Amino acid sequence: MPTFALSYSTPFFGADPDRLVTVARHAEQCGFDALYVPEHVAIYPGAQLGSWDIPPTLPFPDPLDILTFVAANTERLLLGTGVLLLPYHHPVTLAKRLATIDVLSRGRMRLLTIGVGALRGEAAAVGVDYSTRGRRADEAIEVLRRLWAQDESGATFHGEFFDLENVFSYPKPVARAGLPIHIGGSSAAAARRAGLRGDGWMPGGSLRDDEREALWQLVRTTAERADRDPDGIAYTRMGHLEMSTEQVERLAQHGVTRVVIGAPTGEPEEQCAQLTAFAKRFGLGD
């Protein structure tokens, strides 16, 4: 049986600290193993994802600040981003922020999931050439890992976008191997990136089952060709509150290791009641 995590939509629930703490603590008590939050750095009129017109005033609180607050008010929940837009962050400063959260949470910053973004205006707002965002992300992943490594000579990297020589960054993550980096995205490029560089893959929800299965196989074959163990790549899928045990069992048969459920709507008391019902259906916390 996969583990279950909760996706908390900060743009819809806001950054109200009481609601956030209530839902996060209740999810932990129910047996959910992790909490994910999304990111958008900048929204603008006309921004669109698929058929959804994003309201330009929709608030997206900073995900790492949100996770730091969640960590301070919980004990066991793993911390995740779904997704952090890696090309829009400098990896040197990001490495320190993520490692600091990991240390303060006693090693719970385990589900960093990155994407490359799909809004040209968002890239422009932070001075990133949209056409280079994939290459920037690939370099940033390597820089993060080198900065987290326990290397007495520091981190050295010379690339197209980032250049550093014998740079030291502290604190280090709790685990000597550094933080896992999961890859989010529903494209072939994202699947290949997961196979080549990722510790996990989390596709989006707007795919047919056969498309998603083909991409998962692309993740695995890409890993094999790169002499990586495909069985070592975690497979995370989005789910929903009405899922049946049969549906989850089918996901497990396809290699899914974690199912992420969107937090229900309503007042916090309603949200918690629905999470309790879901947890009982799947025997979480038993």
pLDDT exceeds cutoff 80 at 286: no
Q: Name the residue with higher pLDDT: 108 or 52.
A: 108
pLDDT at 224 over 80: yes
Burial grade of 158 (CB within 10 A; 0-12, 13-18, 19 or more): exposed
Q: Across the chain, what does the average pLDDT equal?
A: 97
Higher per-residue pLDDT: 52 or 97? 97
* Burial class for 187, CB neighbours closer than 10 Å (0-12, 13-18, 19+): middle
State the pLDDT confidence band at 252, using cuts at 50, 70 and 90: very high
**Site of tokens 């089952």:** 209
Condensed to tens digits (0 to 9), the pLDDT of residues 202-223 reads 998 789 999 999 999 999 999 9
Identify which of 139, 74, 126, 137 has the alpha carbon closest to the alpha carbon of residue 101. 74
**Average pLDDT score over residue span 3-18:** 96
**Where would I find the beta strands (DSSP E) of the chain?**
3-7, 34-37, 48-49, 52-53, 78-81, 84-85, 112-115, 155-158, 163-167, 181-184, 200-202, 234-239, 258-262
**Given the structure tokens 């959804």, which residue do they identify?**
52
Query: What is the percent of the chain with per-residue pLDDT over 90, rounded to a whole number?
Result: 95
Nearest to 218 by CA among 197, 238, 188: 188
Which pLDDT value is given to residue 206?
Answer: 81
Interval 65-100: pLDDT, tens = 999 999 999 999 999 999 999 999 999 999 999 999
Give the mean model confidence (pLDDT) for residues 223-250: 97
pLDDT band at 180 (very low <50, low <70, confident <90, very high): very high
Whether the model pTM is above 0.75:
yes
Asked if the model's pLDDT at residue 151 lies above 90, the reply is no
Per-residue pLDDT at 127 exceeds 80: yes
Is the pLDDT confidence value at 150 over 90?
A: no
The pLDDT value recorded for residue 65 is 98
- pLDDT above 70 covers what percent of the chain? 100
